[in-house]
Structure 1
Amino acid sequence: MSTTTPTTVVAPLTIQDAEALVEAARTAAEAAGVTVAVSVLDAGGHPLAFRRDDRAVLIAGETSTRKAYTALQLNAPTADLVDAVQPGGLFHTLPTALDRPLLFIAGGVPVRCDGRLVGAIGVGGGAPEQDHGFASAAADALA
C-alpha cells in the first residue's frame, strides 16, 4: 500500500496580482519622489506586467526586468546576491558563465504564495537600496 501526502496547489500569479504589484511598487516610489520602472514575471519567467514612469531613465526598464529574472532564477532577493558575485564570492563567475540576463543589483525580489515561488518583481530607476525597498514593499503587500 502506498501512501501519498496531499499536496497544496498554489495558484499562479494572475494579471490582477501583477498589476497590484506594479501599483504598490510605483506608489512606494512616488511617495519617495523616485521615478521607476517595474517588471513582474510569472514562475516561468514570462512577463506579466511592466510599467516605466515617463521620467524614469530608459535603462530602468531593462534593469527592472533583469533584476526580476535574477531573483526568480535564484529564488532570492538580488540585494542578498550582490556580494556573491564579487571576486572570491560563491557566484563570482555566474554572470559570465550563463547566457542569461542576470543582474546582481538590489531591486529584484521573489514573490511567494504559501511559501512557494510564484514569480518575481524587479524595480529599477532609484538607488539600489530604494529599488529593493519598493520591490519588497510590493511583494509584502501582495502576501
Structure 2
Amino acid sequence: MSTTETAVAPLTTQEAEALIDAARAAAEAAGVTAAVTVLDAGGHLLAFRRDDRAVLIAGETSSRKAFTALQLNAPTADLVEAVQPGGPFHTLPTALDRPLLFIAGGVPVRRGDRLIGALGVGGGAPGQDHEIATTALTTLG
C-alpha cells in the first residue's frame, strides 16, 4: 500500500511582503515601532522590515523569534514556560549554533497543516509582538 502526499505550495515572496505589510499596519495601530521578519520553511529570509524608529535590537529579536517558531513549529508565546529552570527545554536556548529566542512574537506560518515558514515581530512588549504577528497571519486566509 502506498501513500501519497499532496504537494503544498511554498510561502511566496508576495505572501511574505503581505505579512510584512499586515504586521506593520497592526504595529502602527498598536503604537509599536517594530521589526518584522519572514522566513521560508528552510529558515531562509524571505522578507524583513524595521521601522526607522524601532530599536536596533528589534531586528535581531524578530529574526530569532521567527527562527524559533519555525524550528519548534509553535508560537514562541507557547514555549516561554518550557525554557524556565526545570522545564523540558531549559538548556535549549543555548544548545544550538544559532540561538533560539523564547519570547512571544514568533509564529509558524502554515498552509493547511503544513509548515511553510515563520513570522517574527520584535520591538514591542512580548504580548504586543505576539498580537501583531497573529494579526498579520490572518492575511494569508
- TM-score scaled by length of structure 2: 0.97
Largest Rg, 1 or 2:
1
Partner of 2:125: 127
Q: Aligned partners of 2:126 and 2:69: how far apart in 1?
A: 14
Q: Which of residues 61, 86, 90 in structure 1 aligns to 2:84?
A: 86
Q: Which AA in structure 1 matches 2:37? A: S
Q: Which AA in structure 1 matches 2:67? A: Y
Q: Which runs of 5+ in 2 are unaligned?
A: none
Q: Deviations over 1:63-82 (max 9, x none)?
A: 00000000000000000000
Tell me how far 1:100 sits from its aligned partner: 1.6
Tell me how far 1:7 sits from its aligned partner: 1.8
Q: Aligned partners of 1:10 and 1:53: how far apart in 2?
A: 32
Task: Provide the alpha-carbon RMSD of the alignment.
Answer: 0.8
Instruction: Say whether the 8 Å CA contact 2:94–2:100 is kept in structure 1.
Output: no
Q: Aligned partners of 2:78 and 2:102: how far apart in 1?
A: 9
Instruction: Say whether the 8 Å CA contact 2:104–2:129 is kept in structure 1.
Output: yes
Partner of 1:6: 4
1:102 aligned onto 2:97: no
Report percent identity of matched pairs.
Answer: 78
Bigger mean CA offset, 89-98 vs 14-23: 89-98
Q: Aligned partners of 1:91 and 1:10: how far apart in 2?
A: 30
Tell me how far 1:5 sits from its aligned partner: 2.9
Partner of 1:41: 39
Q: Deviations over 1:23-79 (max 9, x none)?
A: 111100101111100000000000000000000011000000000000000000000
After the TM superposition, which segments of 4 or more aligned residues of structure 1 sit over 4 Å from their partners? none
Q: Which AA in structure 2 matches 1:85? A: V
Q: Aligned partners of 1:34 and 1:42: how far apart in 2?
A: 25
Tell me how far 1:6 sits from its aligned partner: 3.1
Partner of 2:26: 28
Q: Aligned partners of 1:52 and 1:93: how far apart in 2?
A: 30
Bigger mean CA offset, 77-86 vs 98-107: 98-107
- TM-score scaled by length of structure 1: 0.96
Q: Which runs of 5+ in 1 are unaligned?
A: none
